[in-house]
């Protein structure tokens, strides 16, 4: 059977169920529109869901938890532990995930403790930290991947010309408006800077574009132990 895409009936139905969960959780209209729009238009939704089965998942920097809830609604994950330092977003994620095999924890992803999992997600997280912190978090996430499991990183790449410039402007506006909480905006050359240390840990890496239909420079890095 062909994998789901953003426009496939199965994934579209899972997105609708996820959006309904956020409505029942009391999310403000702007948040509900964000959740539905983000899941429908962000290429990472299908890119991550298509990697099923994901098994037990750690989602570092989960935000409102919309991707985590979607993965459970779509049957792509069996359990999710989400971590984020924004208390309001974590509270909303907990309400939206009621009844699902998910736990959401407030805390700084650089310091929280987690048990090893089949899949570890770093989706749009690394670029909010300096290089040393990015490297440490990447290695920590890799060490939490069980044998046969995968580390899944979606982030902006620094070597994509105008796409990188557009992404940098968008992120700086989002952090300035406090829509996203981050210490800085720092993109990396993913192929030259992120792949080698993972390969040195005996992880097989694939890197592919994850920007379909958008002006951004996002790439998907999948590292399998």
Q: What is the pLDDT of residue 1?
A: 31
pLDDT at 50 over 70: yes
- CB-based burial, 193-217: b 16+ in 10 Å, e otherwise: ebbeebeeeebebebeebbeeeebb
Which residues, 6 or more positions from 169, have their beta carbon under 8 angstroms from its beta carbon? none
CA distance 16 to 40: 10
Q: What is the pLDDT of residue 218?
A: 96
Which residues, 6 or more positions from 15, have their beta carbon under 8 angstroms from its beta carbon? 36, 39, 40, 45, 70
CB 121 within 8 A of CB 60: yes
Mean pLDDT of 79-104: 97
CB 191 within 8 A of CB 218: no
Q: What is the pLDDT of residue 170?
A: 83
pLDDT at 28 over 60: yes
Domain ranges of the chain: 9-224
- pLDDT tens digits, residue range 165-193? 988 888 878 766 555 555 568 899 999 99
User: Domain 9-224: what homologous superfamily?
Assistant: Vaccinia Virus protein VP39 (3.40.50.150)
């Amino acid at each position: 059977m062909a994998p789901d895409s953003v426009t496939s009936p199965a994934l579209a139905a899972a997105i609708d169920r996820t959006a309904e969960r956020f409505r029942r959780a009391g999310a403000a209209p702007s948040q509900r529109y964000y959740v539905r729009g983000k899941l429908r238009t962000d290429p990472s939704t299908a890119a991550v869901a298509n990697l099923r089965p994901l098994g037990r998942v750690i989602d570092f920097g989960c935000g409102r938890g919309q991707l985590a809830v979607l993965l459970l609604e779509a049957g792509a994950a069996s359990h999710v532990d989400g971590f984020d330092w924004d208390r309001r977003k974590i509270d909303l994620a907990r309400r939206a995930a009621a009844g699902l095999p998910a736990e959401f924890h407030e805390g700084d992803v650089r310091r929280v403790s987690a048990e090893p999992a089949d899949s570890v997600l770093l989706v749009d997280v690394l670029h909010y930290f300096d290089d040393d912190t990015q490297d440490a978090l990447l290695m920590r996430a890799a060490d939490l991947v069980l044998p046969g499991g995968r580390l899944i990183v979606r982030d902006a790449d620094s070597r994509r010309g105008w796409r990188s410039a557009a992404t940098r402007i968008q992120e700086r506006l989002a952090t300035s408006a406090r829509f996203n909480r981050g210490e800085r905006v720092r993109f990396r050359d993913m192929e030259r800077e992120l792949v080698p240390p993972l390969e040195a840990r005996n992880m097989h890496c694939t890197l592919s574009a994850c920007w379909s239909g958008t002006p951004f420079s996002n790439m998907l890095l999948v590292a399998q132990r």
